[in-house]
Amino acid sequence: MTLAADLPLWAALLIAFFLLIGAGLALIGSFGLYRLRNFYDRIHAPTLGTSWGTAGIILASVIYFSVVESRLVLHQLLIGVFVTATTPVTLILLSRAALYRDRVAGNPDVPLLHPLTTPLRTSSPENNPAAAHENTDEIKE
């Protein structure tokens, strides 16, 4: 609070707006992580905090340091680029690990690995329509 006395009013209002948007979205995301029932529901919730929560706080930081130092300060955008690039990677890896663990544990709520080709492989050739079609072609030739 040392440099904030000479801040203009519009800058203070913009900074407060973006700060409260960002922190509120992070709080909603963490509350969803605490509250939702299933893991696959829960993995969606913290992305509120990592998408627009981070963007709001970074915009507030950019506005604050640009106004206080009276030049354009953009190095906070590096955090935004980094978080935007890494969050989908971590969540894809984590959700695939969770899906693998659920399939190994035999959880009936998750889909199978190949839901279309697995019944065809286990069925007999007489009941398989694709194989029957191949047989008729051979008879015609």
Residues of this chain that interact with other proteins (CB under 8 A) are 1-5, 7-9, 11-13, 15-16, 19-20, 22-24, 26-27, 29-31, 33-34, 39, 42-43, 46, 49-50, 53-54, 57-58, 60-61, 64-65, 68, 75-76, 78-79, 82-83, 86-87, 89-90, 93-94, 96-98, 100-101
Closest distance of CB 52 from other proteins, Å: 11
Which element (helix H / strand E) includes 103? helix 77-105
Collect all residues with Cβ–Cβ distance below 8 Å to 36 and sequence separation of at least 6: 42, 45
Least separation in angstroms between CB 32 and other proteins: 9
Longest dimension (CA), the chain: 91
Report whether 34 contacts 95 (CB < 8 A).
Answer: no
| Contact call for residues 17 and 51 (beta carbons, < 8 A) | no
For other proteins, give the closer residue by CB, 81 or 132. 81
8 or 111, CB closer to other proteins?
Answer: 8
Q: Contact, 49 vs 30, CB < 8 A?
A: yes
Report the residue number, 8 or 129, with the smaller CB distance to other proteins: 8
Among residues 14 and 128, whose Cβ is nearest to other proteins?
Answer: 14
Closest by CA to 11, choosing from 51, 61, 54, 58, is 61
Cα separation of 87 and 84, whole Å? 6
Tell the smallest beta-carbon distance from residue 141 to other proteins (Å).
48
Q: How far is the CB of 114 from other proteins (least distance, A)?
A: 19
